[in-house]
Each structure stands twice: as structure tokens, then as C-alpha cells.
Chain A
Amino acid sequence: MSRSEARRKRWRGEKIAPYLFVAPFIVLFLVFGAYPLVKSVILSFYITNGPSDPVFVGAENYRFLLTDPNFWKAVRNTAVYAFWSLALQIPLGLGLAILLNSSWVRGRNFLRLAFFSPNLVGQVFVGVLFSVLFVPQYGLVNKALHATIGTPLDTRWLAEPHLVMPALVMTSLWMYVGFQMVYFLAGLQSVDKELYEAARIDGANNWQQFLNVTLPSIRHVLVFVVLVSTIGSFQLFELPWVMLGRGPGPDSAGLTIIMYLYLNGYVAGDLGYASAVGWTLALGLLVISLIQLRMSGVWGGRRAG
């Protein structure tokens, strides 16, 4: 073999090698990622009985979806849950992180673990636990509230439509606030201490330091946490499913978009309609995420600070 021939062979090998390395991912992605995605787009134009007997209906599934009051109820419930979860979890998670990042707090490591630990157990476990805590007449939540603010002992958190969402938000708060805290802690620990020193020299008080040093420094973490939490909130399923006894609860007050998808796809058996719901949710999430990125200036707007 001549030298040029050997070089050509090696060159060809070097050119092929990267493709071979990525091939396993590509093949798996095509089989388990791209194919189901494409298939679900096609399915969303059919009414089906499980995967069988597909009947082509064009855009009827999307038309029906947009006029279905149950879908809009699921959207409203999910949006309300997402709003309140974020509105409570983010400030509380950030507050806890600031507290547990302070040198004067004793037992910080233990407290960090304690606040994070609810996140180590699954939503199903938490759902079972809180469905017991919310029991009327004998449940711990009712007993505590009755003793402190005098609410009725037989308050039916999971059986009264207007109380279902507060119960879900409270449960998720307990579960996820530690999760947010860990991200914020990581962000806080990377803030340059000299910035605080400089701010103090300039006469900034604690609140001004928080507004002008801490927040801008952890902005990327904040955006990430808000984004991840929003997407997570819109994917809510197990928690209400378990707490409300494998269903949407009274007056469908715990019906979320994913639950709506599940009920239509796997209980009613219309995989076509469920696919339409899935794609509508995906598009909705994409739009919300882009708006959030735009508003935070991370994408397409002001440069991140």
C-alpha cells in the first residue's frame, strides 16, 4: 500500500468515525423519538379506538379541542396551578436559599437537606401523604387550622371544588420549594463577594444589595428555574391523580392538561384526540417559554446582565 493510499484510508476512517460514534444516538432517537413524534402528528388527524380502527377526520380533533369546555377547564386549572405555584415557590425558594446561605444560620447543611428531602420522594408518595393530611374532621391540616384560625373541622379540601386547587398548590409548595432552593443556593454561591463589598462601600443597605447585586447576578438561574417550573407545572399529573382518587376531582377542579390527555387517550381510547391535545400543549409551552425568555432578556431582547 502506498503512503498516499494509506493516508486516504486513514482520512476516510477519520471522516466516518464521528458518524459511527453518533450513530447509536441517531438510531435510538429515530426509533424512540422521531418516529413516535411523527406518528403522533399523523394520529392527531384520526379518531381511533386504541391504536386500531383509525378513521380520518382531518382537523376535526383540533376543532373539537378548541371548542371543548373540558379542555379549557384543564387549561385554566393548569394555568392557575402554574401561576400560584410559581408565585409562591420562587420567592419562598429564593428566601430560603438566602437564609441558608447566610453564615449566621446554625445547622445550615441539615436544614438544606431537610428542605430538599420532600423532593426525593415521588409525587405518588406525596399525594398519598397529603390526601391523608387533608382528611376532613380528623386530618392534621384541618385540626391545625381549626386550632389556630378556627376554620371548620369538616372542611373538605379534596371534595369541594374551590378548595382543590389551594390543596394542590400547598402540596406542591411543600414538595418543590426545596428543589428551587438548591438552584438558588448554587446561584448565590457563585456571586462575587467583592460586588457586595463594593456595594456596601457605596452605602447600599441589605435590600439595595439584594436588588442591585444578588438579583442581577443570579438572573440566569432565576430564568432557568422559572422556565423549568413552568414546564413542570404544565406537566402536572400524578399529584392530583393520586390525591383526587384517580380522577379529576369534584367538578373537574383538579383536571390538568396531561390528565385530560390521559383520560382521552388511555381511558376513552381515542389516541388521535390525545395526540392533538399533546401537540397543542407542546405548542403552548413553546410559546410560553419563548415569551418568558424574551421578557427576561435572555433571548432576543436585552443582553443578560
Chain B
Amino acid sequence: MLGLGLASGAYLALRQPKKQQADLRLWTFAKPHGEAYMEALPAFQRKHPEVSVDIQIVAWEAVTSRLQAAFWSGLDVPDLVEVEISEAGSFFRGRLESIGFLDLTERIHQTGLWERVVRARFAPYTTRGRIFGVPHDVHPVMLAYRRDLIEKLRIDVDKIQTWDDFVEVGRRVTEPGKRFMMELPTAEASRLEAMLFQRDGGYFDPQGRCIIDNETAVQTMMAYVPMVAGRYRIGSDLGGGQIFTRALEDGYFLFMIAPDWRTKLIEQDVPKVGGRMALMPVPAVQPGGRRTTTWGGTMIGITRKSPNPDLAWELIMHLYFNKEDLAKRFRDTNILPPARDLWDHPAYDEPRPFWSTQPLGRLYANLAPDVPFQYTSPFISLAKAKMSEALIACVQYYNRYGDRGFEGFVRRQLKVSAEEVRRVMRRNPYVTE
């Protein structure tokens, strides 16, 4: 029976007709991206009538875990893949020549992208000085707020120039359990991270060294924690999805961190607040300082196994740098493209009724050149987890003891977290070689 099973299995496997595959296959985890690319495809195919292109929208988990597994085991992979910014580093764990993506450094310089694109956006897709992805976006950050409630509370947003100003107003209007100045989590570090980037801090330096215990990180933690802990906290969070929708409708949060991509989610998920929302630049750390930061991002990479890397590169250029397509895509997604020369299209100046007729595109484009660098590492997930752990510990400490001994505690906690990351990094025999 076993023999019969093996024989019939082998027969079927050998007889299986070879699947007809497109010349170029692209995976994206974001449905809006996939839909936009499908719309942009006919123009590419008019230039290359002999080339077939297959754009597949794949679950986030598949992009990360299945693609990684396929790279490792030499299985069939698409020609092009979009990867979320926080996952990109995990593909850079091995030796440079073992990375599943093609090194695009030379192409980026030769085609002028290095000059056109906001420079900071290459950093998350760079390891050991080599660039493995083209950035899809800039994702500058503003603060979105309930304009109607802010006006009712007589808050003048123009007078909020720094985080100190913001906290001062927040303490006046926050009523714990009923209304908070801002949506700020205490158990995960995404907003803390945005504030860390604003101060030119981060998880790793350009050389890939862990820096979550440097002075910038300490100062950021010391500024963030009193906003979410203790008697005078002004921030809280409830979670995402439907609960966020409800909280925003109810006026539970007045302000929230809003990168360009999130404004579209707010428009789609909370239509009830349309016309009652507005945007303002992020308060600066010091007067005259940077009024933005960054949150989120996507890269596109060409897989090393792609038989058509030149064609794949042409498709990237078509999808990511075609001015007219990108202007339309901006209207659909609110996502600002990464090349500065694309932002002079009238689409970016259109007033948006949802955002109290503010020209959403221009507001973000004005801030985009100032978006901070964020460097990555194969250990980025671990560093993020350790930063979140440190945040939780600091919040617990502050709730218990307040300012007493807080600075020393923050320093010790971040040191412990950073040492844990470094300890794991020392084990990696590939990156240090």
C-alpha cells in the first residue's frame, strides 16, 4: 500500500503541468496599494505589451513569515514584494549575500532616486551600508484633533508651539475616565517611538548599534511617561478598530498622532466626525524645533531570485514615481509619495471637507522634508519589545512614586533593556562578520 501510495504520488507530482506564471509577480500586503497598482498597470503594459504582470494582495503574515521561509528554503518567490517598515529589518539577519532581496544601492544612485527621494526614508531599508528597498512613502506626522470640541473648550491650537504648551493645556481639559487630551498608549511604544524619532533618537544608530539607552531616549521617556501616568496624566488609550472609532465619536480623545496614512483610516472609519476634524503640526520639543516626526512605512524590494530584475525595476519606477498616478493615489489614500518633485501637483493643494477644508496634502508636504531618520537592524523587533517593556516599567514606577527618583529609574531601566538587546546581538555570527 505504501509503495502504491508513493508511486501514485510521484506519478502525479511528475505529471503536474507547469503553472503558467506571469513575467512579473508583485506581492503587497496593503489592499489600497494593490488596487492602485492594478489601475496603473495598463499604462505599463502599453509600454511592454509582451510582459504579463500579476499583482497579488497577500496577508501581512504571509509577506513576513511565508516570504522569509521561502527565502530560506529557496522556494518560489515573487519578483517584487512590499514589506512594512517594522518588518524590513528582520529580512536582513543573515550575511549580505544571503539576504533574499536584491541590493539596489547602485540602481538608486544611477537613476537619481537618491537625490529625488526624502533621504531619511532609505535608512529603514539599509543594512551595512547597502539599500535593499525603495520607499513607498514619507509618512510625516501631524496631530489630528476634534476641532468642534477644541473650539468649545476655547483652546487656541496656534498657541501650542511646544510639548510643554500642549501638556499645560492638556492638564486643564483632561477629565480621567471621561475625556483625555490625547490618545497615548502606556503599554506599547509606537507613540513614544514617534517622539523619540522627533528628537533624532531611535533604536539603532547608522552603524547598527543599539542606542535605546542614550541621553535622547532617557529624555524622551522622561517627557512621555508623565503624559500617560500619575495624577496629572493627559493621555490614555483604549485600543484600535471599532473602539477607537467610538472613542473618537464620543470625544474621549481630543488629539491623536496622525501620519498621512492614518487620516484616511479616520475618514473611512469615523465618517460621523467629518468636517469636525482638523490637523496641526506636532508640537516641537524646543521652541523653533522640528514640528513633525514619522510613523509607519513600506518599501518595495526586488527578490534576488527574480529572473527579470531590470523589468522589475521599471515596474517600480512606474508604480512609485508616475506623477499623475500618484496624484490620483494620493486622493484615494492620503499617502504622500516619497519624491519631492511629485508634490507640486494640484492634488496636494485641494481642500478636504472632512478636515475642515484644510489642504491636507500641502500640510504634510510642507513637513515631509523634515521627517527624521530611523535606522534599522535585524534586531529591530527585539529592540521595540524591550522599549515597550521599559515604558511599562517606567509607567508603573511613575504611578507609584511620581517624580521621586524617576530619572535614575528611567536610566537604569533603559540600560537593562539595551543590554538585553546587545546580548542577543552578540550571538549573531552573520552581521558582525
Does A49 touch B at the CB level, under 8 Å? yes
The stretch of A96-104, A135-143, A279-287 in contact with B is A135-143
Q: What chain A residues lie within 8 Å of B95 (beta carbons)?
A: 49, 53
CB distance from A119 to the nearest CB of B (A): 26
Cross-chain contact A153 with B177 (CB below 8 angstroms):
yes
Residue contact A252 to B389, C-beta cutoff 8 Å = yes
With A50-B68, A154-B236 already in contact, the answer to whether A246 and B61 are too (CB < 8 A) is yes
Find out whether the CB atom of A251 lies under 8 angstroms from the CB atom of B98: no
A55 engages B429 (CB within 8 Å): yes
Q: Kindly list chain B residues whose C-beta atoms are within 8 Å of the C-beta of A246.
A: 61
**B388 and A268 contacting across the interface, CB-CB below 8 Å:** no
The contact string, 1 if C-beta is below 8 Å from chain B, for chain A 248-287, is 1011100000000000001111000000000000000000
25 CB-based A-B contacts, threshold 8 Å: A24-B2, A47-B427, A49-B93, A49-B95, A50-B71, A51-B72, A53-B95, A64-B427, A70-B420, A136-B238, A136-B243, A138-B243, A154-B238, A158-B239, A159-B185, A160-B187, A161-B392, A250-B388, A250-B392, A251-B389, A252-B385, A266-B69, A267-B65, A268-B382, A269-B72
In the bound assembly, the distance between CA atoms of A137 and B98 in angstroms comes to: 48
Asked if B393 contacts A268 (CB within 8 A), the reply is no
8 Å CB interface, A23-49 against B: 23-24, 27-28, 47, 49
Considering only residues 49-65 of chain A, those with a C-beta below 8 Å from chain B are 49-53, 55, 60, 64
A216 on the interface (CB 8 Å rule)? Answer: no
**The one of A137, A158, A267 that contacts B90, using a Cβ cutoff of 8 Å:** A267
Question: Within the complex, what minimum Cβ distance (angstroms) separates B416 from chain A?
Answer: 9
Indicate whether A305 reaches chain B with its CB closer than 8 angstroms.
no
A251 pairs with B393, CB closer than 8 A: yes
- Residue from B61, B73, B429 whose CB has the most chain A CB atoms within 10 Å: B429
**Residue on A with the closest CB to B187?**
A250
- CA–CA, A28 and B68, complex, Å: 28
Interface residues of A in 128-154 (CB under 8 A from B): 135-138, 152-154
A52 vs B97: C-alpha distance in the bound complex, in angstroms? Answer: 12
Q: B430 on the interface (CB 8 Å rule)? A: yes
B72-101 with Cβ < 8 A to chain A: 72-73, 90, 93-95, 98
Q: Are A53 and B187 in contact (CB under 8 A)?
A: no
B residues in contact with A300, CB < 8 Å: none
| Cα–Cα distance between A246 and B71 once the two chains are bound (Å) | 22
Contact in complex: A49, B98 (CB < 8 Å): yes
Contact between chains at B65 and A266 (CB < 8 Å)? yes
Query: Quick check: B65 and A135 within 8 Å, CB to CB?
Result: no
Contact residues of A: prevailing secondary structure = mixed
Question: A269 vs B430: C-alpha distance in the bound complex, in angstroms?
Answer: 12
CB < 8 Å neighbour of A27 from B2, B252, B389 = B2
Decide: A49 near B72, CB < 8 A? Known: A136-B243, A154-B177, A266-B65. yes
> Is B157 in the interface zone, CB < 8 Å from A?
no
Q: Is B247 interfacial (CB-CB < 8 Å)?
A: yes
B264 to chain A minimum Cβ distance, whole angstroms, is 21
B334 at interface (Cβ–Cβ under 8 A)?
no
Q: Which residue of B lies closest to A250 (CB)?
A: B187
Measured between alpha carbons, how far is A154 from B236 in the docked complex, in Å? 10
A residues near B (Cβ < 8 Å) are 23-24, 27-28, 47, 49-53, 55, 60, 64, 69-70, 135-138, 152-154, 156, 158-161, 246-248, 250-252, 266-269
User: B residues within 8 A CB of A52?
Assistant: 72, 94, 98
The interface centre, meaning the residue of A47, A159, A246, A251 with most chain B CB atoms within 10 A of its CB, is A251
Set of chain A residues within 8 Å of B73, measured between Cβ atoms: 50-51
Q: How large is the interface on B (under 10, 10 to 19, 20 to 34, 35 or more residues)?
A: 35 or more
Interface residues of B (CB under 8 A from A): 1-2, 61, 64-65, 68-69, 71-73, 90, 93-95, 98, 177, 185-188, 236-239, 243, 246-247, 252, 381-382, 385, 388-389, 392-393, 420, 427-430
Residue of A nearest to B72 (CB): A50
Chain A residues lying within 8 Å of B93, measured Cβ to Cβ, are: 49, 268-269
Residues of A within 8 A of B393 (CB): 251
Q: Cβ of B61: which chain A residues have Cβ within 8 Å of it?
A: 246
- Say yes or no: B72 contacts A135, CB within 8 Å: no
**In this complex, what residue of B is CB-closest to A55?**
B429
> Smallest CB–CB gap between B74 and chain A, Å?
8
Contact A69 B420 (CB under 8 A): yes
Residues in B with CB closer than 8 Å to A69 are 420
A266 to B177: give the CA distance in the assembly, Å. 40
Cβ-neighbour of A251 out of B187, B243, B382 (below 8 A): B187
With both chains docked as a complex, state the minimum distance between the C-beta of A152 and any C-beta of chain B, in angstroms: 7
- A73: nearest chain-B partner, CB-CB: B389
* Whole-angstrom CA separation of A156 from B243 in the bound complex: 12
Q: Which of B1, B2, B61, B186 has the most CB of A within 10 A?
A: B2
Chain B hits for A23, CB < 8 A = 2
- In the complex, chain B residues whose CB is within 8 Å of the CB of A136: 238-239, 243
Residues of A within 8 A of B428 (CB): 47
How far, in whole Å, are A246 and B239 apart by their CA atoms in the complex?
15
Partner of A138, one of B98, B177, B246: B246
A135 CA / B247 CA spacing, docked (Å)? 12
Indicate if the CB atoms of B430 and A49 lie closer than 8 Å: yes
Residues in B whose Cβ lies below 8 Å from that of A248:
385
Chain A residues contacting B94 (CB-CB under 8 Å) are: 49-50, 52-53, 269
Would B238 and A251 count as touching, CB distance under 8 A? no
Task: Tell me the bound Cα distance from A47 to B95 in angstroms.
Answer: 13
> Which residues of chain B are near A159, meaning CB under 8 Å?
185-188, 237, 239
Closest 10 A/B residue pairs (Cβ): A50-B72, A250-B187, A49-B94, A24-B2, A159-B187, A251-B392, A55-B429, A136-B238, A135-B243, A251-B389
Tell me the bound Cα distance from A64 to B69 in angstroms.
Answer: 25
- Bound Cα distance from A156 to B236, whole angstroms: 11
Nearest B residue (CB) for A64: B427
Complex contacts, B188 vs chain A, CB 8 Å: 159, 250
A47 CA to B427 CA, complexed, in Å: 8
Closest residue of chain B to A24 (Cβ to Cβ) is B2
What's the least CB distance linking B231 to chain A, in Å?
16
